Structure 1
Amino acid sequence: MRRVIGLIGGMGPEATILMMSRLLAATPARDDADHIPLLVDSNTRVPSRIAHLIEGGGEDPTPVLVAMAQKLVAGGAGVLAMPCNTAHSYYPAIAGAVSVPVLNMVELTAGAVNGQHPAGPVGILASPAVEITGIFARAFADLGREVIYPADRGRILSAIRAIKGGQADRALPILNEAAAELADGGARVAVIGCSEFSIVAPRLTDPPLALIDSLDVLVAACVASATWQ
């Protein structure tokens, strides 16, 4: 049977549901039993990553994320995935606390981008926390690549908050402008590096550069990891 995938979710809840939907669509199946069994902890009470990483005064989410991972493993998950790029700032603690593989969304995405677009700077459309912690910068630096970000962190953060608040239409012009800015800065490819942005990315109008969605990369890795046992 297939290995159980455990999802460390709830960051945010709509993005977790989107991950599950894309995983369902990506799995070759003719019947229920052909699909990947999932254990999902959609914990909306994970302390704010924005408050902790950007504002600097919020509660550290690490203990909650570690506890979620351990609970999923205790429930039978053989592989863990976390459909939140920003939360990968806490990846070492999570991966070090469990005995099963934890798929690294950031490193997998960097590898996918490098394989498909091997030259030039890479644009990052993600939470400012991702820029602050440097998780994508490090992943791409290991591949000899530079990353660039939109200049206005506040506008990017406002787009994330709009999507979380059910006002995705307000985020679209911000993301379209940010994509154009990255292209003007020399990027030919950009990472959709926030799972909230994954919700609206298909609605971006004629982006001036290629887009690789980190959520799709994680979905593909889950399908590959859920091998028959």
Structure 2
Amino acid sequence: MKKFFTVIGGMGTLATESYIHLLNERTPITKDQDYLDYIIVNHATVPDRTAHIIDNSKPSFLPPLVEDLQQQSLLKPEFMVIICNTAHYYYKELQAATDIPLIHMPHLAISTMKKKYPNAKKVGLIATKGTIEDHIYENEIKDAGFEYSLGDQQIRDDVESLIYDDIKEKGQMNAKKYYDILKRMHEEFNCDVIVLGCTELSYAQEKASEHPYNVIDAQSIVVDTSIELETKMRKGEKIDISKIY
């Protein structure tokens, strides 16, 4: 392949599977050749991102991801995406490891939210402990000019349980738990829009999208952006990652 992109995934695998499913489902096709050209790296053994961010003595996920990026860079993809919000804790180090443009998922998500919900007063953030601890999304939300809420401890515990107990450990989706989290963020914490700051929550959204709440699904946004960029590549247009934000 000469014009393709690389997907660095496996964090977790069901979330990566959800990204690929949506990517293929949303691509306009009439024949096999209309699907996109991409390489999937499902690096499931990358150390847990949250565990390392909370406790730096735990194995770092940076070295294996740097290795992935450098290996893929030899193949010269046009751009790369990392299907894990929490991994963007090391975004600067990861981008510095390669000349290939790497999409910044949290930045793209919040810049999209600003365009889609310019009149939102308060933004809710639900994510892993690691993503909340590293303030990636909080800083993006504040820089965009919005108030934000992380809910209360019970909500954060329920989010962690949905991500780890249900999806990562059991490979199951608990729709009721997901809906209850969204409902409480909306009704008790007055959130006009809720950011899904974890790809497992994007998986939850794919499997249980029948609810009335406004959400910003970072993975879904990256899917649409991947299709847009690859379509331009096929037309021979030069892509500029900086213009997607």
Q: Indicate whether the TM-score tops 0.5.
A: yes
Q: Which residue of 2 aligns with 1:203?
A: 208
Report how far residue 74 of structure 1 moved: 1.2
- 1:159-216 Cα offsets, whole Å, 9 max, x none, are 11121123534x4333222212221212111112211112222426634x31121111
Cα distance 1:140–1:206, how it changes in 2: closer, same or farther (>3 A)? same
Q: Which residue of 2 aligns with 1:160?
A: 163
Give runs of aligned pairs for residues 1-229 of structure 1, distance below 5 A.
Answer: 3-118=3-118, 119-152=120-153, 153-161=156-164, 162-169=166-173, 171-183=174-186, 184-201=188-205, 202-203=207-208, 206-207=211-212, 209-226=213-230, 227-228=233-234, 229=236
In the alignment, the residues of structure 1 paired with residue 86 and residue 208 of structure 2 have an alpha-carbon distance, to the nearest angstrom, of: 22
Aligned pairs, how many?
Answer: 227
Identity of paired residues, percent?
26
Amino acid at match of 1:185: F
Provide the alpha-carbon RMSD of the alignment: 1.9
In the alignment, the residues of structure 2 paired with residue 30 and residue 149 of structure 1 have an alpha-carbon distance, to the nearest angstrom, of: 43
Cα distance 1:211–1:62, how it changes in 2: closer, same or farther (>3 A)? same
Q: Which runs of 5+ in 2 are unaligned?
A: 237-245
Cα distance 1:45–1:167, how it changes in 2: closer, same or farther (>3 A)? closer
Report how far residue 76 of structure 1 moved: 3.1
Contact 1:2–1:37 (8 Å) recurs in 2: no
Contact 2:127–2:197 (8 Å) recurs in 1: yes
Contact 2:62–2:94 (8 Å) recurs in 1: yes
Contact 1:3–1:79 (8 Å) recurs in 2: no
Q: Which runs of 5+ in 1 are unaligned?
A: none
Contact 2:8–2:83 (8 Å) recurs in 1: yes
In the alignment, the residues of structure 2 paired with residue 31 and residue 147 of structure 1 have an alpha-carbon distance, to the nearest angstrom, of: 44
- 1:16-57 Cα offsets, whole Å, 9 max, x none, are 111111111222222222221111110011111121013443
In the alignment, the residues of structure 2 paired with residue 10 and residue 149 of structure 1 have an alpha-carbon distance, to the nearest angstrom, of: 26
What's the TM-score once normalised by structure 1's chain length?
0.91
What's the TM-score once normalised by structure 2's chain length?
0.86
- 1:115-143 Cα offsets, whole Å, 9 max, x none, are 11112111112112111101111112221
4-13 or 123-132, larger mean C-alpha shift: 123-132
